[in-house]
Amino acid sequence: MTAPPAGRGALDSGAILFLAILGVVAAGVPILNLAVPADSAFHVSTYFVSLFGKYVCYALLALSLDLVWGFAGILSLGHGAFFALGGYAMGMYLMRQIGTRGVYADPVLPDFIVFLNWKELPLSWYFFDHFAYAALMVLLVPGVLAFVFGWFAFRSRVTGVYLSIITQALTFALLLAFFRNDFGFGGNNGLTDYKDILGFNVQSDATRAVLFACSVVALAIGYAMCRFIVASKYGKVLVAIRDAEARTRFLGYRVENYKLVVFTFSACMAGVAGALYVPQVGIINPSEFSPANSIEVAIWVAIGGRGTLVGAVIGALLVNAGKTWLTGAAPELWLFALGAMFVVVTLLLPKGVVGLVQQVRDGRARRLAVTAREA
């Protein structure tokens, strides 16, 4: 087996630089938050740690979508459902840790279950008082749903806009289900009022800093795994499926199997993003299943640069930072600004921000080459 060409391996110089930046952020931000005095110019506030930690979780979610959309041509408009399911799994663990500190002081039943006058813990809540079980469910629930959904959709050869509509219908169905009080997951209020995670106060500055670091590390691991996937032979087949699915199937590849595996893996990544998101924002409710949320994720990926991985991360960070600023300055303009960004990128920057940077770099290289030849 020969080595990949220079600069085109799973971890080329650009990928290593990106991972190094993430490593510095994961270590540096908590230090600047906890070890640097609050009156110092280098101090990072807890508000910033929590806010940027949320952005990092969004970046991991965008990365999971870019893997299937940018490299396999699967435009999923339901990835918000996998994100929310991972969040609910973590939220259920956090609710079980409240114990007698809840409003009703029941050692076993969460407050909303007592309020509904249920006498026993629903079967779906069993074992969620164990972190290991909850962590397993964070991966298993979105993964199983994606596997079952993909099994039927891909083997039925549902593609393109039809698949996108079906994924959106899936997340809307889950939205309606989780809104019901008798579904056993908090109804429209969702799960909130968390106290501890692994025995540590979830509201403390130290815990928030650790959660932030864990989110950045998870993003780095997810990015590295995606890079290895797309640089492998498997990744090359995914690109072939994206560009010419019928021809790839004619060559003998089991297209549905390739799509099913990457779709399931992507859903598990989204579940991890949701699980890290919930303890940092302090709540999970059915609004996370909103189809509009999944559409917004696709916009992040498009703006950053579809099929680039790092572009998905950049797009999520840029758009959400802009959302935070604009919704504070002029909240009525945010949706118009988001729509305008998507239209401009679609018409003028089809490869997103990362593609624009690459075009500028290639243009400069061509000009230097022409200058060298003329000299």
Burial 265-302 (b: 16+ CB within 10 A, else e): bbbbbbbbbbbbbbbbeebbbbbbbbbebbbbbbbbbb
From 115-129, 322-336, 345-359, the region with the lowest mean pLDDT = 345-359
Q: Is 285 within the bounds of a domain?
A: yes
Confidence of residue 235 (pLDDT cuts 50, 70, 90): very high
How many distinct structural domains can be found in the chain? Answer: 1
DSSP characters for 102-158?
Answer: SSS--SSS-HHHHHTT--S--GGGTTTTSHHHHHHHHHHHHHHHHHHHHHHHHHTT-
pLDDT digits (tens, 9 = 90+) for 18-69: 999 999 999 999 999 999 999 999 999 999 999 999 999 999 999 999 999 9
Q: Is 209 within the bounds of a domain?
A: yes
Tokens of 278: 């919930």
Q: Is 353 within the bounds of a domain?
A: yes
Mean pLDDT across 245-268 = 96
**What's residue 368's pLDDT?**
77
Q: Give me the residues paired with residue 201 across strands.
A: 196
Amino acid at 361: R
Tokens of 110: 């969460």
Angle between helix 160-179 and 131-155 (nearest 10): 140
Residue 6, phi then psi, degrees to nearest 5: -60, 135
Q: Is 3 within the bounds of a domain?
A: no
Contact by Cβ (8 Å): 219, 120: no
Q: Is 347 within the bounds of a domain?
A: yes
Predicted TM-score (pTM) of this structure: 0.93
Q: Is 5 within the bounds of a domain?
A: no
**What's residue 6's pLDDT?**
38
Domain span at 331: 13-374
State how far Cα 194 lies from the chain centre.
Answer: 22
Q: How far is CA 82 from CA 89, 133, 199, in A?
A: 11, 18, 27
Strand pairing category for 200-201 and 196-197 = antiparallel
Cβ-based neighbours of 257, under 8 Å, separated by 6 or more: none
**What's residue 33's pLDDT?**
96
**What's residue 5's pLDDT?**
42
Q: In 187-237, at which residue ranges do the beta strands (DSSP E only) sit?
A: 191-192, 196-197, 200-201
Q: What is the DSSP letter of 182?
A: G
Q: Is 237 within the bounds of a domain?
A: yes
Tokens of 160: 């393109």
> What gap in Å lies between CA 260 and CA 265, rounded to an integer?
9
Q: Is 1 within the bounds of a domain?
A: no
**Does 297 score more than 90 pLDDT?**
yes
> What gap in Å lies between CA 82 and CA 266, rounded to an integer?
9
